[in-house]
Structure 1
Amino acid sequence: MQPGIPENAATITFSGATELTNEHLDEWAISILADPVKKTPCAVDNFKLENGVIDARVYLKNTYGYSDWKCGQDFYESWERNETFYQSRLEAYKKEIENDMPVYDRFKMAGDILDVGGLTGTVREFLSKDCRYVSIDPFIDAFLKTAKTKIEAYQCLKQRCNFVGAVAEFIPFRAESFDWVHMRSMLDHVQVPDLALREAYRVLKPDGSLLIGLSVEGGKSGRKAPIRLAKDIVKETLGFVGMKKYKDSHTWHPTYVNLLKLITDNGFEVKDTYWQPYWKDQVVYVLASKG
């Protein structure tokens, strides 16, 4: 174990290396790298590294909503770093896998897959071995904070993973590079959802597919139960008066109708909708194609 890395954390294991490096990012992923702003082809050497990971993060610091996004991101990263909490969650992780299995039995992703906000790539648990996969996430140290219990539950975390530090609004890959873009439990955390969807459209191949999984306000009916509405008002008030424990870490609270509008407004055609059984009509997965 390297100095400064907690014992229950995993190092990034690109090509079986034990040091923190992704200089062995798969050749196919290297070949489609692009400047996240200019969108032009870009070599690995043109990116800066942080802890050995390609850092392609671009922030909209002067745009409305950045401070809320940064607050939410800081909270999320702090939550992920809570190693004491995660050490005891082996059975919860196994249950998580069981609950997600029906989603990926229905939606069989294949080919070249970009996981936006994919963190350590746990969706690989449901992918076939011949898929080519890469995850991007602004939490660039995610692999350093992966608890042993999670690695024990998710077999995919024992395998190397293509990973680049990046945000959804500025994807560091060339146009028409992927067969699938996967966005699970992340669109309500981005600063600009429209831009995130436009980037997904850009990097998808002409016959590519987008899969979005999200908890939506009011669930399938679109209506919040009175007790849930009351609880949300109390939490929002407590967060507003400075109680960080209750501050909302989300930047967007879409209903199912809002989500569909976002998807179609940005050029996609909705193909299928699936309500994840475990969450009782509160979490929806939407499959869309380039219209």
Structure 2
Amino acid sequence: MENTTHFGFKQIATNDKQSLVRDVFNSVASKYNLMNDVLSFGAHRLWKHYTIASSNVKIGDKVLDIAGGTGDLAIEFRKKVGDNGQVILSDINAAMLNEGRKNLTNKGIFSVEFVQLNAQSLPFDSNTFDCVNISFGLRNVTDKDQALKEMYRILKPDGCLLILEFSTTDSVFLKKIYDFYSFNIMPKLGGIIADNEASYQYLAESIRKHPNQETLKDMVLDAGFDFCEYHNLSGGIVALHKGIKV
């Protein structure tokens, strides 16, 4: 029997997910930053600022930003590590990586490296990085458990994993508003602004299929991390998980 997984609310063959996700991000790459601002009312910038502030990244550190897309976080990590540090911006999607390269170049930042990779098989030696970050990307990974094990492997002892992702709110009132917005407004805005309603329908569905806060915390610990905590942002619509490798 063929292995299956979810693509939004659809069940598909596991081997098909990567290409379907690639098609989604190929289609939205050029409008990605604009849509983030519109759909989150700018809140994504506050969520990312909180992530950077929670990272404990310091001068001289090595940072890997997985699914880094247009490079918002890589820019800030670059400031924190200084001239002696290293930041690698990575993404599985070439179109998104190209947008990141253009974005950093336009801001005069040339000291970030770019690597196209799959989070399930990271092309780095064990114990290489002080910090690994993945923001709004883990829900698109086919085998999340394998990806988390890889992130654990490449982190140095005392290294930090940061996962910023949409999550689950406990507020019944907020959930009703958020569900209505996600399935009735968000795809329509995607159609109007990015000329791609279907991709934003998938993105709304993918959020609902992502593990909740406690489940993801357990997954991080099961991957080998000795410590994991999470902080809810915007009432739990978004959560930041922080794992430490001892």
TM-score, shorter chain, exceeding 0.5: yes
2:107 aligned with 1:107: no
Is residue 288 from structure 1 mapped to residue 243 from structure 2 by the alignment?
yes
Report the counterpart of residue 182 of structure 1 in structure 2.
Answer: 133
State the one-letter code of the partner of 1:219.
T
Whether the 8 Å CA contact 1:140–1:164 is kept in 2: the answer is no
SS of the residue 2:226 aligns to: strand
Could you list the runs of 5+ residues in structure 1 that have no partner in the other structure? 1-62, 236-242
Q: Please say if residues 72 and 248 of structure 1, whose CA atoms lie closer than 8 Å, have aligned partners that are also in contact.
A: no
Are the equivalent residues in 2 in contact too, given 1:120–1:135 (CA < 8 A)? Answer: no
Report the 3-state secondary structure (helix = DSSP H, G, I; strand = E; otherwise coil) of the residue aligned with 2:63.
Answer: strand
Aligned CA distance change for structure 1 residues 151 and 173 (closer, same or farther; 3 Å)? closer
Instruction: Give the Å deviation of 1:186.
Output: 0.6
Structure 2 residue runs without a partner (length 5+): 1-11, 186-196
So what's the TM-score if we normalise by structure 1? 0.60
Residues 121 and 161 in structure 1, CA contact (< 8 A), matched pair in contact too: no
* Pairing partner for 2:75 from 125, 132, 140: 125
Q: CA RMSD in A?
A: 3.8
**What secondary structure sits across from 1:80 in the alignment?**
helix
Among 44, 47, 72, the residue aligned to 2:21: 72
Query: Where does residue 24 of structure 1 map in the other structure?
Result: none
Please give the alpha-carbon distance, in whole angstroms, between the structure 1 residues aligned to 2:104 and 2:41. 9
Equivalent of residue 90 in structure 2, options 110, 113, 136: 136
Q: Does 1:210 find its partner at 2:167?
A: no
Q: CA deviation at 1:219?
A: 2.2
Q: Which residue in 2 is equivalent to 1:165?
A: 116
Q: Which has the higher helix share?
A: 2
Higher Rg = 1
1:259 matched to 2:216? The reply is yes
1:81 paired with 2:81, answer: no
Counterpart mapping for 1:22-33 below 5 A: none
Q: Is the 1:214–1:283 Cα contact (8 Å) retained in structure 2?
A: yes
SS at match of 1:182: strand
What is the SS of the residue equivalent to 1:167? coil
2:86, 2:112 within 8 Å by CA — same for their partners in 1? no
Q: 1:164 to 1:151 in 2, by over 3 A?
A: closer
Cα distance in 2, alignment partners of residues 162 and 275 from structure 1: 31
- Give the drift of 1:119: 2.5
The letter for the 1-side match of 2:124 is: F
Work out the percentage of aligned pairs sharing the same amino acid: 21
TM-score (norm: length of structure 2): 0.70
Contact 2:230 2:239 in 1 (8 A): yes
CA contact (8 A) 2:232 2:240 kept: yes
Displaced runs of 4+ in structure 1, greater than 6 A?
92-95, 230-235
- The total of aligned residue pairs comes to 213
Q: Which amino acid aligns with 1:283?
A: V
